Amino acid sequence: MDFSESFNLKMAGLLSLAGLVGAIDNLVGITAVIKAPNPGYSLAVSSVSILVVIFVSGVFSRSSLERRLVLASIIIVSGVIAIRLGS
């Protein structure tokens, strides 16, 4: 099956939505870095957005989460908590 045969309106809508959400995320992230007293804080918090991608992709693909993804998620959250407690 060719890609052009499998591309449909639903897929185009999902890709458009993903692009819009990504653009908004980048704008908010850049604004946060500019306005934050310490840009590291906003970068650490914005790294948490990958957790949404991990879990939503697991739901859409109906696949189980691998241990390394769960471990990486725990490390990300722990890092943000450590930064917050240290300030």
Q: Which domain holds residue 68?
A: 3-86
Q: Please, what is the angle between helix 67-86 and helix 49-61, to 10°?
A: 160
Report pLDDT for 46.
Answer: 77
0.75 cut: is pTM over it?
Answer: no
Number of domains in the chain: 1
Q: What is the mean pLDDT of each run of 10 residues along the chain (87 residues)?
A: 71 87 86 81 78 78 80 86 78
Report pLDDT for 7.
Answer: 76
Report pLDDT for 20.
Answer: 93
Integer-rounded Cα radius of gyration of the chain: 17
